[in-house]
């Protein structure tokens, strides 16, 4: 579904953060990205989701080379690839439901976008997605009053309403309590399995990557040095990714 060849990212003037990164991603994969601090994980995620401009590299998506996307390709990239940051940007004073429905941007008329009105069908749709992430009873609450884990789940529901096919999520469970961690990672697992969505998420705890993901990427010095189906890593593999300690 996605093929990336020789992706390079250089921050000016000469900080090469990603070097010659190549990979393929299939629909339905849950890829956990692990690696030491400063190894380039976030930069890789931002490049995959086109939040950051690439310095060079080739991108093939759904069989089309869109390395230099035109207007329509850019629209498709914006709809299909959703980047969710550690602390998702939500409208804090708007309800969880209204935040989720912001994902309808790509399907809503300009008039309704401007007036912010929500019709019955949209209301039901938004509540359906809130139910999928276990927040049915929180739809009316202001996003700013929700916990960190609940805000993450609102952002996930919004991405699903948008019709996102590739969720790129930076540190989705950092700082969350164990119950929220389990909820979110199980949610990713079932989205991949049941809806063929691909999830690429950085995880700081190797055990979580081993337990929940289908594939593990280990990043060191701006390269993917480990790319394996998820399983318990050997000591040697951990050393390859994190160095000797």
Helix, strand or coil, per DSSP, at residue 16: strand
Shortest distance in whole angstroms from residue 46 CB to ligand ATP:
8
48 binds ligand ATP (CB under 6 A): no
Shortest distance in whole angstroms from residue 47 CB to ligand ATP:
9
Shortest distance in whole angstroms from residue 169 CB to ligand ATP:
13
Binding ligand ATP (rule: CB under 6 A), the pick from 15, 115, 232, 245 is: 15
Q: Give the C-alpha separation, 98 to 165, whole Å.
A: 21
Decide whether 33 or 125 has the Cβ nearer to ligand ATP: 33
218 binds ligand ATP (CB under 6 A): no
Q: Which of 231, 207, 204 is nearest to 33 (CA)?
A: 204
Decide whether 106 or 242 has the Cβ nearer to ligand ATP: 242
Site string for ligand ATP, 18-47 (x = CB under 6 A): -----------------x-xxxxxxx----
Q: Which of 79, 64, 46, 71 is nearest to 166 (CA)?
A: 79
Residues 6+ apart with CB under 8 A from 67: 57, 58, 59
Shortest distance in whole angstroms from residue 178 CB to ligand ATP:
21
180 binds ligand ATP (CB under 6 A): no
Decide whether 10 or 27 has the Cβ nearer to ligand ATP: 10
Decide whether 151 or 202 has the Cβ nearer to ligand ATP: 202
Stretch that binds ligand ATP, among 9-17, 110-118, 127-135, 207-215 (CB under 6 A): 9-17
109 binds ligand ATP (CB under 6 A): no
49 binds ligand ATP (CB under 6 A): no
Q: Which of 1, 2, 9 is nearest to 223 (CA)?
A: 9
11 binds ligand ATP (CB under 6 A): yes
Question: In the sheet where 56-61 sits, what is the strand order?
Answer: 15-25, 2-11, 56-61, 64-65
Q: Give the C-alpha separation, 73 to 79, whole Å.
A: 10
Stretch that binds ligand ATP, among 11-19, 71-79, 182-190, 225-233 (CB under 6 A): 11-19
Q: Answer yes or no: are the C-beta atoms of 144 and 138 closer than 8 Å.
A: no
Q: Which of 74, 88, 83, 80 is nearest to 44 (CA)?
A: 83
Positions that interact with ligand ATP (CB under 6 A): 11, 15, 17, 35, 37-43
């Amino acid at each position: 579904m996605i093929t990336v060849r020789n992706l390079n990212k250089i921050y000016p003037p000469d900080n090469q953060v990603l070097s010659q990164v190549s990979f393929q991603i299939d629909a339905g994969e849950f890829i956990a990205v692990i690696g030491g601090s400063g190894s380039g994980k976030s930069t890789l995620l931002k490049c995959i989701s086109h939040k950051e401009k690439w310095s060079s590299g080739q991108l093939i998506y759904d069989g089309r080379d869109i390395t230099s996307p035109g207007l329509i390709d850019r629209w498709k990239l914006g709809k299909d690839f959703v980047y969710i940051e550690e602390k998702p940007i939500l409208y804090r004073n708007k309800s969880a439901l209204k935040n989720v429905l912001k994902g309808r941007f790509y399907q809503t008329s300009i008039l309704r976008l401007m007036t912010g009105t929500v019709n019955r069908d949209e209301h039901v749709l938004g509540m359906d997605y809130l139910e999928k992430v276990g927040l049915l009873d929180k739809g009316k609450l202001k996003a700013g009053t929700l916990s960190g884990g609940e805000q993450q789940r609102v952002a996930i529901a919004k991405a699903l309403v948008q019709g996102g096919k590739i969720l790129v999520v930076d540190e989705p469970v950092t700082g969350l309590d164990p119950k929220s961690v389990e909820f979110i990672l199980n949610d990713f697992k079932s989205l991949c399995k049941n809806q063929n969505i691909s999830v690429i998420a950085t995880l700081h705890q190797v055990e979580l990557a081993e337990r929940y993901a289908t594939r593990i990427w280990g990043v060191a010095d701006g390269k993917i040095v480990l790319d394996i189906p998820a399983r318990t890593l050997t000591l040697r593999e951990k050393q390859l990714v994190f160095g000797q300690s």
